[in-house]
Structure 1
Amino acid sequence: MFRRLAALFFLAAVLPAAAETPAKQLFGAVKDPAPLASRSIGTYARGCLAGAQLLPINGPAWQVMRLSRNRNWGNPALVNFLEHLAAKAPSAGWNGLLVGDMSQPRGGPMATGHASHQIGLDADIWLTPMPKRELTYDERERVSAVSMLAPDTLSVDPKKFTNRQFNIIRLTAKQPEVERIFVNRAIKKALCEQTSGDRGWLSKVRPWWGHDYHFHVRIACPRNSPTCKPQKEPPSGDGCGAELQSWYAPLPKPTKPSKPKPPPPEITLKDLPPECSQVLVAK
């Protein structure tokens, strides 16, 4: 408690309105990483990132998309993971990675797009194969990723979701650093149906809304981050039975009109770990 109060007092002296300002505005405004020892702080959906490392926009087997967002930062463990995964991608028939959002330079909540990605351990990888040429800046801004879903959204389009997409997700899930992979329910369904032999990796692949044009990779808390909060282990089994079917269950019809729920309150600095105040103002 004392550390939290001391950090907030220090921050308030530097940024008078910071205590009430949505944290997404504060962290989104900072363009450079905190010059501190690298570490992920807090939880994947409520934390920040010190000493972030930039993933170069081009590599031997990857290209970063949406450069204007400045979200290709991560814990060095994530950057190292992506570089090694990209090197293995050709073995799965995948030319290379198109990398979407990782984290902001100092992590924290984002103004658009994500509730997680706050501590530099999450990355979105497009399900569109990387072309065999370097994309221009303009292409990286305007080219759209391709949805893998059939028109009914209940299954994948087999012309789009092929063995290549299957293989890159399986390769990623088999990496020991990976905690979770989030995909659309239809993609999870296709993975379940197409997998033969070893099914252990499927437990890491979790259905979630959206995620039809990319898969979201989350790696475990690294050793350099003692205040990083790990997730619970995924449920046992491959998640292809009743759990997957629950994502296809019809929503219950309301018995009477209900009032719309108010939006949740904005996350402010007081809602984040106390170290995040120091990360935000570090120079």
Structure 2
Amino acid sequence: MAMTLLRILAAAFITILMLGSPASAQPARDLFGEMHQPAAGPEMVIGSYAKGCIGGAVQLPTDGPGWQAMRLSRDRRWGSAELVQYIESLAQAVGQDGLPGILVGDMGQARGGPMASGHASHQIGLDVDIWLQPMPNQTIPASERESLSAISVLKAGTREVDPALFGEAQRLLIYRAAQLPGVARVFVAPGIKRSLCAINWRDRSFLGKLRPWYGHDDHFHVRLACPATSQSCIDQSPVPAGDGCGADLDYWFTDAPYQPSTSPPSPPLTLADLPNACTAVLRAN
């Protein structure tokens, strides 16, 4: 009887922590950052890329045929089964091009959700960062995976690629990444997109998926579309028609996108800001 009462009180305490007004103001990044095991049960991709979570996530192995994961201490090697399969497929595809493999950066947390640093998205197990430098032939020691830095492929002080750092290997890597099934967007530095637009590709359709964005000069960010089985997943709008190599890209070579924002920073997301189902994901065994 006493043990049952203790269990009831413990459950009530957890509920108050997560749903009561003090917890409603607690940053969700703190709650999700403390979770290092996935929520049990089938895969559930919930919400949008920058406001959601995932149940039943899968962890990418540290190393595999054609890939090595970086920054292991962050514990951000989690994602949907579709994302893990995508990484495996990309590693296999670049191997066919003669590349040794890929270096995998951040995916998501064990239960998704906001992160303490680095990303506004990556919350629902459908995003992954891939480094632009090819994987070395030897296994990188765990300590070096924490200290080794991704290398920018831009000319210093410019928005243009450096041909010495961005060559055929990087072009083929991005091409393969965008061509695989399920890809909704690939975020790259504007200079990378411009250099790829300049090539006379036989099929230019993949270029439309390449979206110029800040900070993607040493890696690119792949975003998968919502799995058909996840009814609670919210897709982005489809990319505009065309290859995106015209005026929209030219805008990124003006000063306008880089002006400091005059708006105050948004407060961190709380659990109340996320879909209701994320509370269940957070509380699950």
2:85 and 2:213 map into 1 onto residues whose CA distance is 26
* C-alpha deviation, 1:38, in angstroms: 0.8
Tell me if 1:13 matches 2:23.
no
Tell me which of 185, 209, 216 is aligned to 2:190: 185
Who is 2:224 aligned against?
Answer: 219
1:77 and 1:54 map into 2 onto residues whose CA distance is 11
Tell me which of 229, 247, 259 is aligned to 2:252: 247
> Is residue 92–residue 171 contact of structure 1 (8 Å, CA) maintained in 2?
no
1:74 and 1:93 map into 2 onto residues whose CA distance is 27
Tell me if 1:59 matches 2:61.
no
Tell me if 1:262 matches 2:277.
no
Q: Which runs of 5+ in 1 are unaligned?
A: 1-8
Q: For 1:230-279, what per-residue CA distance to the aligned partner results, in whole angstroms no more than 9, with x for missing partners? A: 1111011101010100111233999xxx9953211221111100000010
Tell me if 1:88 matches 2:93.
yes
Tell me if 1:115 matches 2:117.
no
Over the residues paired in the alignment, what is the CA RMSD in angstroms?
2.0
Q: SS in structure 2 opposite 1:247? A: helix
Who is 2:281 aligned against?
Answer: 279
Q: SS in structure 2 opposite 1:36? A: coil
| Alignment size in residue pairs | 272
> Is residue 189–residue 214 contact of structure 2 (8 Å, CA) maintained in 1?
yes
> Normalization by structure 2: what TM-score?
0.91
**Which structure has more RCO (C-alpha within 8 Å, separation ≥ 6)?**
1
Q: Which runs of 5+ in 2 are unaligned?
A: 1-11
1:11 and 1:77 map into 2 onto residues whose CA distance is 32
Q: For 1:88-146, what per-residue CA distance to the aligned partner results, in whole angstroms no more than 9, with x for missing partners? A: 11123321110000000000000100000000000000001101111111011001111
Tell me if 1:27 matches 2:29.
no
2:98 and 2:164 map into 1 onto residues whose CA distance is 16
Who is 2:54 aligned against?
Answer: 49
Matches within 5 A, 1:65-144: 65-144=70-149
Q: For residues 197 and 10 of structure 1, do their structure 2 counterparts lie closer, same or farther at Cα, with a shift above 3 Å needed? A: farther
Q: For residues 195 and 90 of structure 1, do their structure 2 counterparts lie closer, same or farther at Cα, with a shift above 3 Å needed? A: farther
2:68 and 2:116 map into 1 onto residues whose CA distance is 24
Who is 2:175 aligned against?
Answer: 170
Tell me if 1:203 matches 2:227.
no
